[in-house]
Structure 1
Amino acid sequence: MVRRYHSRAVRAGCGACYLIKKPHVRPIVRGKAGKKTEFGAKISISDDNGFVEVDRISWDNYNEANDLIERAERYKEERGYYPARICADAIYMTVANKKFCEDHGIRLSGRARKKETAEAEVQSTEQQELFKSDLRKRSVIEGRIGTSKRKYGLDRIMTKLVATSRTVIGMAFFVMNAEKILRFLRLLFAFFVFVYIAITCLFVPERRAALLGAY
């Protein structure tokens, strides 16, 4: 099992007058070009083999690195075992998280934090290839965040209350997971239709004769 962790800020509605009506919303300094400051909830999400789970939704300033151990323990309660690998952001690469994963046989993969980059050990070619593979898998969660903002409206949460905002955020990821299941069912249906047509063509005498005559 592969579990990927990430966290992002979800912007709320814009406009000073609109934000005054939402006292729970605080500014989040992101330092991005064009978006130095965002307003809204801070969410931590994880991707478990293609399905997104919302681990925390909060308007407070919290350190999302503390969510990893709790989420790994919850994963064990649900499945009976720890995940084999966790691909996470650099912020999750803390000493406590690394020790926890090492003690429980979990491979914690992610870029080292800036202050630890210079102290990073020299990796072999196999380790570098494995690290690149983990980075590609972790990039999936980046895509989930972008899709949720572009397609599911998380770039602009217009609800005013904390409870309704939580509902909107939760429903966005629920619909995202539901559409993934729907795509799988479509592929499964197409496969059964293909098998049915193949069996019909091979075992119906008239069609079988027609097929042999064609050759």
Structure 2
Amino acid sequence: HIQRPRNKYLDVRRAYLAYSKLRKRRKSQTRMLTRRLLQLLEKLLDQLELLHSSYRNRLTLSSDYQRRFSVIQTVLEQGKNLFAGKKVSNRIVSIDRHYLRPIIRGKETKSVEFGAKVNNIQIDGISFIEHISFKAFNEGVRLKDCIHLQQQLTGVRVKALAADSIYANNANRKFCTKYHISTSFKRKGRAAKDEPLRKILRSELSRERATRLEGSFGTQKQHYSLARIKARNRKTEVLWIFFGIHTANAVCMIEKVEKKKRKAA
């Protein structure tokens, strides 16, 4: 004889379906429906907490359930703050993958992307992950770390490098000039005496980067399951990315070894 918890789930669901079918939606309609959804979510969470407290001794809640419940509570708080016009940092965009953050890319087809962001370097066709994060970061400040990593892996001093234009800041230019590293960056300031030769070198470095590095991204996405990662947690997703990149590296290394054998023969 326990009274069934009452809520307006069906009413709000019907209102949402009617709203989603509208071609034009007024701001007042959107705000009214958002308020109803937030109120319904808050009431459902309160009812769940009441059940937890009433049957605490007879319930065994898994860690996944507790984590998911905590994430939904955080989503409710963030939704309330957004509705009130407040700024929300580290906004959750997925309940299952709560660690994801929107990354604004500025592309024509996808202005915003979700997933891991990888700072990648390539040495003779072999790719290495220098830094990976699920939050947006400025890879332009990581050029020095990339050079140090490359020198540690090969034991050879870097003499030339090709990189995206985001790396061409003043700090990186000064660093490369100090250690006599030729780059693919566009020239700033007065031209040197050997400018024609430097222009040819910059062109060759840019061409190699466009064909090798950018081409490897497409290969890894199309043939090594990195176009759509189906992992459901952070560790598995990172492992998926590492396996995809290093499997592509293994295939590339096999081709290099076979080519070297044919030349020796």
Task: Decide: shared fold, TM above 0.5.
Answer: yes
**Cα deviations by residue, 1:149-189 (Å, 9 ceiling, x for unpaired):** 11112121111111111111011111011001222344355
- 2:168 pairs with 81, 86, 93, which one? 93
Q: State the distance in 1 between where 2:220 and 2:190 align.
A: 36
Which residue identity does 1:61 align to in structure 2?
A
Which residue identity does 2:216 align to in structure 1?
R
Which residue identity does 1:146 align to in structure 2?
G
| Structure 2 CA distance for partners of 1:121 and 1:149, relative to 1, 3 Å | farther
Q: State the distance in 1 between where 2:217 and 2:95 align.
A: 27
1:1-215 equivalences in 2 (<5 Å): 19-111=94-186, 121-122=190-191, 124-139=195-210, 140-188=212-260, 195=265
Aligned-residue identity in percent: 28
- What residue ranges of structure 1 are gaps of 5+ in the alignment? 1-17, 113-118, 196-215
Higher relative contact order (CA 8 A, sep 6+): 1
**Cα deviations by residue, 1:43-87 (Å, 9 ceiling, x for unpaired):** 010110111111111011211112111121233334444311111
> Secondary structure, in 3 states, of the residue corresponding to 1:96?
helix
Q: State the distance in 1 between where 2:127 and 2:133 align.
A: 17
> Secondary structure, in 3 states, of the residue corresponding to 2:97?
coil
Q: Which stretch shifts more, 139-148 or 182-191? A: 182-191
| Structure 2 CA distance for partners of 1:88 and 1:21, relative to 1, 3 Å | same
> Secondary structure, in 3 states, of the residue corresponding to 2:94?
helix
Aligned to 1:201: none
Q: State the distance in 2 between where 1:121 and 1:145 align.
A: 35
Which residue identity does 1:125 align to in structure 2?
P
| Structure 2 CA distance for partners of 1:176 and 1:111, relative to 1, 3 Å | farther
Deviation at 1:31, TM superposition (A): 2.4
| Structure 2 CA distance for partners of 1:178 and 1:43, relative to 1, 3 Å | same
Q: State the distance in 2 between where 1:168 and 1:44 align.
A: 16
Q: State the distance in 2 between where 1:23 and 1:66 align.
A: 27
> Secondary structure, in 3 states, of the residue corresponding to 2:116?
strand
The structure where strand makes up a greater share of residues is 1
Deviation at 1:122, TM superposition (A): 4.9
- What residue ranges of structure 2 are gaps of 5+ in the alignment? 1-92
Q: State the distance in 1 between where 2:237 and 2:198 align.
A: 42
TM-score (norm 1): 0.71
Report how many aligned residue pairs link the two structures: 170
